[in-house]
Amino acid sequence: MALDNGKRTENGPELPGARIGSRMRVDSFWRINQMKGRIAIIATLAFYSMVFQAMATDTGPLPLPLITRNSVEVCLNSRYSQHSLVGTANTQQISNVLWAAGRVPFTGTHRDIYVATPTATYLYDPSSHSLNWYSNDVTDDGAFAIVHESGLDFDTGISFMLALLGSVSLWQSSESAVASCPKGIGYTKARLVFGVQSVRGLTDELAVHSSVPEGESGWLPDPCTTSDNSLEEVLASLNYVSSFIQTNLTLAQISQILWSGYGCTDHTPSGKAGLTVPSAWANYYLTRSIYLANENGVFRYHNRNPGTSLSTRDHRIEQIDSSSAGRGGKRPADSRGRLQSAVSGLPEAPCYIILCLGSSYVGQEYALLETGFVAGNVLIQATAIDLGSHFKAALTSGERTGIQGATNIPSSHVPQAIVSIGPVEFQASISVALQGEGRPDAGWVVPLAVKFFTPGADVLNNSPIYEFKLTTAKSSSTNMAVCEAMGIAPGTYDITVFSETTLMNVKRGLVISATNTSVDLGALLEGDATQDSTINLNDYAILSMCWLASESQAEYDVRADLDRDGLVNTADLFLLTANWLGISPVEVPPQQ
């Protein structure tokens, strides 16, 4: 963050750009009412619409965000602030920035997002991605500015950070580059100011490596500064969740998360080594006060070497003694359970990032905004690497003391927020077609066995990664039976399904990559009453022994009632003969 002190606060050498993304526009913000008159007047209006569209901002829907294809990591690595901001923005640029700002959750009581332009101030509605006129107040600083009214500065910081990244992503796109800088002096509340002007471009050059030799305690692998994700697509599906799979993070994941939140980049504001976040006067309020708690204990993150020199760069962790309980007592180094006991509503997670401020910074707006900057970066980076996160802010004094006691964080470092991180409990929405035209409503309630295997597995003999015993219901919108499988890690699987009277279906190479992935496993073939993976005389024998029996009679066998209509008759015999000599597994085509 830079403040209005008359200096450009973050500079850096010219660097080559990365890749140029494609532009995807689906609508136009400007709605010029149809006018009657001469062709010359219409031509003039069209000219002003194209060339001067940013001279007056209108109310109503904004265009959908442009998808640049620039990655989260390259935007984090390239970010820097410019203090002197100029230029005129068009509605597409404003749209991308506001959309990014409105995608993030907030933990306080409220959050209102305003955009101040040279013509007026508008209230942004994230739910409809539209603007409503708010006041005649204008900005004469930069092209436009985002202002927040929120219950917590932490929430404002999160939103500002992702809006800022949204502008960085435009640096290599079909739009003109948008620079930014958070500012405070001269305003009642800090604001994020934007200009349309020259920038140094995107870079994937890594500026920092761990000073600890590889393999030794405290070493972190190099973070990635680019990937094949798209910042806008990650923003569209942020994994902000409160339930996690309890699988510990790898060291590579920890390294990436810590670097994204507060890692060094190659720009040098005011003679100091720049970070992935802006900071007021380049004070970097969270230096040496970010902690990580996982199964191995509690660690302090160091991005400087020595730790107090803001002109240096590093990327390492230092374990602190979280096992000491005072008076010589010992306890497990793993403090995660103690953290959950100390903080109300803290989700169970494999990893926690504890954001602290030195006691002299507590309550300062710029320092609190910076904690939000860090949290915002952690959220978007976690999503980009298929992890989820959750924020716990507005900690009570008792919770702060409890966190310090649970972790042995120094009393001079006051906890401001905890970010919970872990693999997301993804859900697969399973659908199958059930045979039998006369199936009554009750016949759609069928037990299913659903199993997830590694790709290429022998699904009849190998052990599954996940196994679910589910019960279907009839879909309200399709002629399918549906159920849900919960708690699946993202990845690629071969998935099988069968009921107590059907052959097994298998669908191979299915990717679970969204928090709720729809999985159509095809039509289940009825007739395998013996569950021996084939439909043959053994199954026919069961059906013939209870021929024409109804469910009220003793000889009725539900295994022979293939359409679940309460009667064993020709309809069931038809299903059995239609699938005669079928063998499991039945391969379901990928497109089905």
pLDDT of residue 30: 28
CATH code, residues 39-196 = 3.40.109.10
Confidence of residue 177 (pLDDT cuts 50, 70, 90): very high
What are 408-441's pLDDT values in tens digits?
A: 999 999 999 999 999 988 889 999 999 998 899 9
Apex 253 CA angle, 305 and 323, nearest 5: 70
Residue 385: which of 236, 229, 498, 242 has the closest Cα?
229
Intrachain domains 39-196 and 426-587 with the same fold: no
- Asked if 262 and 282 touch (Cβ cutoff 8 Å), the reply is no
CA distances from 135 to 58, 96, 139 (A): 13, 22, 12
pLDDT of residue 20: 27
pLDDT of residue 426: 85
Contacting residues for 13 by C-beta, under 8 A, at least 6 apart: 200
Question: What tokens does 574 get?
Answer: 């038809």
Domain 231-423: which CATH class?
alpha beta
What are 247-300's pLDDT values in tens digits?
A: 999 999 999 999 999 999 999 999 999 999 999 999 999 999 999 999 999 999
pLDDT of residue 322: 83
Stretch 511-533: mean pLDDT, rounded?
Answer: 93
Stretch 438-445: mean pLDDT, rounded?
Answer: 92
Apex 522 CA angle, 517 and 528, nearest 5: 130
Annotated domain spans of the chain: 39-196, 231-423, 426-587
Would strands 297-302 and 316-320 be described as parallel, antiparallel, or unpaired?
antiparallel
Q: What's the per-residue H, E or C state across 545-567?
A: HCCCCECCCCCCCHHHCCCCCCE
Distance CA 164, CA 170 (A): 10
SS3 374: helix
Mean pLDDT of all residues in the chain? 90
Distance CA 353, CA 403 (A): 12
DSSP state of 169: H
pLDDT of residue 328: 66
Chain position carrying tokens 């849900």: 484
pLDDT of residue 326: 64
User: Is residue 185 predicted with pLDDT exceeding 90?
Assistant: no
- Asked if 371 and 357 touch (Cβ cutoff 8 Å), the reply is yes
pLDDT of residue 27: 33
CATH code, residues 426-587 = 2.60.40.4130
